[in-house]
Each structure stands twice: as structure tokens, then as C-alpha cells.
């Protein structure tokens, strides 16, 4: 009876819960419960038997094993971290640059956009993992390289020497040339980011640019004074997306899967996954804390 006294608007407020309900059930039973279970497994020794499984509580020894006595966990984890530290800025800068390019008007823009979003479709999942280290492909590209075909991806040894001799710091030069050699990897990971940036660029009001032009600004100035601040919230979004995405496709996650389904050490695998999650959380927290201070919000 109390329900009747609510006004229509008040009632509508509560109707929202019906819409969330399917998701909420999924969240509880396919996310929260498994998450807690996973934490319990990480503290135990899990034996799969005919009627399900048995758990023996063994404290933190799975964590200890992963950190102190597993032959490659720590090394792989730091490797993935380093990789992400190197790749993430490159991916974000690259995708911003090309989103700006693709946003300009030129002939063949539709075709160029279509090609740039191909990686969204092709470079996820198993295709990417087959891609690397395929014999025939390396044979063909080696052959193209030795025959001096312009098709081979640029060998930038000479450029490196030149840059170092002109007095740039070696680490920086290596970073840059490394980026050039890993260009495929970077492109294949930046499809979604370009899409997000492009959507953001479209939503910047053209009158801002018009006003700037009347005041006599150049395109370069307009980019740094208008485009960059307006798009900065999306830079944060893309940073977070890139970090999560690269964590999901790296070496460590493969190791976690292998530990569970090939050596059937479910407890160890869960412990590895939890530490992995902790590392991701820290990385994300630090990044957002640093970047969000610089982000410009219009409203």
C-alpha cells in the first residue's frame, strides 16, 4: 500500500532496477562468486576428483611458490610490465595522430578509414598469436628483403647510427627506432583507440576552430590549444583501454592459462592471476592519478 503513494517519477526511479536485473544476476553468479572462489583457490591446493573437486587450505604458499620458486613467473610478469610501459604511450600517440589525419578531408578518406579499422576485426585473439613466428611468412618477407624489394619493412640501422652520431641520447634513439620496427604490433593494437579518438574529434564544435582561425592561429596552434585539451578526457580513456588490452594479450596471461589447463595446478594459477590483477590495478591507479590531473573537462 505504501507503494501507491509514490509519484510516477518516484516509481520510475525504481523501475530501472528491472532493467539491470539480468546483468545483476550475471554479475553476482558469473563474476562475484567466481571471484571470491578464485581467491579461495589461490589459498588452497585444489584436486579435481570424479565428483567435482576438493580443497585443502594451505595458506599463502601458492603465492610464495609463484614469486620465489616458479622458474619464469616473475620474469614474465616484469617483462609484460616493461612491454606495456614502452608500448602504451606509443599506441596512444600513434592513434591520436592518425585519428587527426583521418579526420581531415581528402580524397579516398572512406577507403583509408576502412583499412585503418581492419585491425579491430583481424588483430584480436588467435589470429594475432598465429601471426608471429610463422615460417612461410618470414620466408617470404626475408626473400623480399634480400632482393632489395621496397616491400620489406624499413631496416633502420643506418638511421640509428646517424641519430646517435648527431648527439641524441642512445636510449631515446633506441626507443624511437624500436617503435618503427614494432610498427605492425602498434598498429594492430590501436584500432579501437583510433575509433574512440575519431568519435571524440567529431564532437568538437567547428566554431571553436573558426574563431581561432579568425584570431589568426595556425593549424599547429589550433591543435595544441583546441584539439588537445578537448580530447584529453579521451586520452585518459584510451590509456586505460590500452593498458587493459595489452595485459590481456600478453605472455603472462598465457602462462596463467597453461598453468591451469596444462599442468592442472589450479591453485597456483589462481594465485598468479591474483598477483597479476594486483599489478594491473596498481599500474592503472598510478596512470589515472597522474594523467587525470592534466585532463581538461569542459563542464
Partner 1 sequence: MKSEVAAEGQPVKERWLQRKASASYWLEAAKKWSWMIVRFVLIFGISFIIIYPILLKLSIAFKSREDLYDSMVIWVPRALTLENFKLVYQAMNYPAVLLNTLLLSGVVMCLTTLTCVLAGYGFSRIRIRGSGLLFAAVIFTILVPTHTIMVPLYLNFKSFDIFGLFALMRGEPLNLINTYWPFILSAALGMGVKTGLYVYIFRQFFKGIPREIEEAAYVDGANYFATFMRVVLPNAVPAMVTVMLFSFVWQWNDSFFTNMYLNEPKVMSSMMASSAYSIATFLSGGGQAEMARYVQDPFFMSMMMNTSVLMAILPLIILYLFVQRHFVESVERSGLVG
Residues 168-227 that bind partner 1 (CB under 8 A): 183-184, 187-188, 195-196, 198-200, 202-203
CB of 51 to partner 1, least distance (A): 8
Site for partner 1 in 12-41 (CB under 8 A): 12-20, 22-27, 29-31, 33-35, 37-38, 41
CB of 9 to partner 1, least distance (A): 8
Please name the helix (run of DSSP H) or strand (run of DSSP E) that holds residue 45, with its range, or none: strand 44-49
Q: Which of 84, 92, 239, 280 binds partner 1 (CB under 8 A)?
A: 280
Q: Count residues contacting partner 1 (CB under 8 A)?
A: 95
Q: Which of 52, 59, 148, 216 binds partner 1 (CB under 8 A)?
A: 52
Q: Which of 45, 141, 177, 217 binds partner 1 (CB under 8 A)?
A: 141
Distance CA 170, CA 176 (A): 10
Please identify, using beta-carbon distances, which residue of 163 and 238 lies nearer to partner 1: 238
Distance CA 295, CA 291 (A): 7
Please identify, using beta-carbon distances, which residue of 85 and 149 lies nearer to partner 1: 149
Please identify, using beta-carbon distances, which residue of 164 and 279 lies nearer to partner 1: 279
Please identify, using beta-carbon distances, which residue of 104 and 166 lies nearer to partner 1: 104
Please identify, using beta-carbon distances, which residue of 112 and 164 lies nearer to partner 1: 112
Q: Which of 172, 175, 277, 296 binds partner 1 (CB under 8 A)?
A: 277
Please identify, using beta-carbon distances, which residue of 171 and 207 lies nearer to partner 1: 207
Q: Which of 74, 82, 130, 286 binds partner 1 (CB under 8 A)?
A: 130
Distance CA 107, CA 195 (A): 20
Distance CA 285, CA 29 (A): 27
Distance CA 26, CA 163 (A): 55
Q: Which residues contact 183 (CB under 8 A, 6 or more apart)?
A: 153
Please identify, using beta-carbon distances, which residue of 35 and 170 lies nearer to partner 1: 35
Please name the helix (run of DSSP H) or strand (run of DSSP E) that holds residue 55, with its range, or none: strand 52-57
The answer to whether 193 and 95 are in contact (CB under 8 A) is yes
Site for partner 1 in 69-128 (CB under 8 A): 98, 101-102, 104, 106, 110, 112-122, 124-127
Q: Name the grid cell of 11.
A: 516509481
Residue 275 phi, psi dihedral angles, 5° rounding:
-65, -35
Q: Which stretch binds partner 1 (CB under 8 A): 77-85, 156-164, 205-213, 277-285?
A: 277-285
Q: What is the DSSP string of 143-195?
A: HHHHTT-TTSPP--HHHHHHHHHTT--HHHHHHHHHHHHTHHHHHHT-HHHHH
Q: Which of 136, 157, 214, 289 binds partner 1 (CB under 8 A)?
A: 136
Q: Name the grid cell of 179.
A: 617503435
Q: What single DSSP character describes residue 153?
A: P
Distance CA 48, CA 191 (A): 41
Q: What single DSSP character describes residue 6?
A: S
Amino acid at each position: 500500500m505504501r507503494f501507491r503513494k509514490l509519484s510516477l517519477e518516484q516509481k520510475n526511479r525504481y523501475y530501472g532496477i528491472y532493467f539491470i536485473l539480468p546483468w545483476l544476476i550475471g554479475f553476482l553468479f558469473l563474476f562475484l562468486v567466481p571471484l571470491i572462489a578464485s581467491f579461495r583457490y589461490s589459498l588452497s591446493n585444489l584436486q579435481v576428483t570424479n565428483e567435482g573437486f576438493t580443497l585443502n587450505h594451505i595458506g599463502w604458499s601458492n603465492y610464495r611458490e609463484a614469486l620465489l620458486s616458479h622458474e619464469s613467473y616473475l620474469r614474465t610478469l616484469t617483462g609484460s610490465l616493461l612491454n606495456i610501459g614502452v608500448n602504451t604511450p606509443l599506441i596512444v600517440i600513434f592513434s591520436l595522430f592518425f585519428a587527426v589525419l583521418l579526420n581531415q578531408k581528402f580524397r579516398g578518406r572512406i577507403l583509408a578509414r576502412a583499412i585503418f579499422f581492419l585491425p579491430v576485426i583481424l588483430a584480436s585473439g588467435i589470429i594475432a598469436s598465429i601471426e608471429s613466428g610463422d615460417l612461410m611468412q618470414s620466408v617470404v618477407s626475408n626473400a623480399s628483403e634480400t632482393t632489395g624489394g621496397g616491400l620489406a619493412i624499413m631496416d633502420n640501422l643506418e638511421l640509428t647510427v646517424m641519430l646517435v652520431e648527431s648527439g641524441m641520447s642512445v636510449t631515446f634513439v633506441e626507443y624511437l627506432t624500436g617503435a618503427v620496427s614494432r610498427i605492425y604490433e602498434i598498429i594492430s593494437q590501436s584500432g579501437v583507440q583510433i575509433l574512440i579518438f575519431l568519435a571524440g574529434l567529431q564532437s568538437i564544435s567547428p566554431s571553436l576552430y573558426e574563431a581561432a582561425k579568425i584570431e589568426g592561429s595556425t593549424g599547429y596552434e589550433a591543435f595544441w590549444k583546441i584539439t588537445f585539451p578537448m580530447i584529453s578526457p579521451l586520452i585518459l580513456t584510451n590509456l586505460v583501454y590500452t593498458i587493459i588490452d595489452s595485459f590481456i594479450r600478453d605472455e603472462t596471461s598465457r602462462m596463467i592459462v597453461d598453468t591451469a589447463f596444462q599442468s592442472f595446478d589450479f591453485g597456483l594459477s589462481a594465485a598468479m592471476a591474483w598477483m597479476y590483477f594486483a599489478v594491473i590495478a596498481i599500474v592503472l591507479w598510478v596512470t589515472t592519478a597522474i594523467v587525470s590531473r592534466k585532463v581538461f573537462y569542459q563542464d
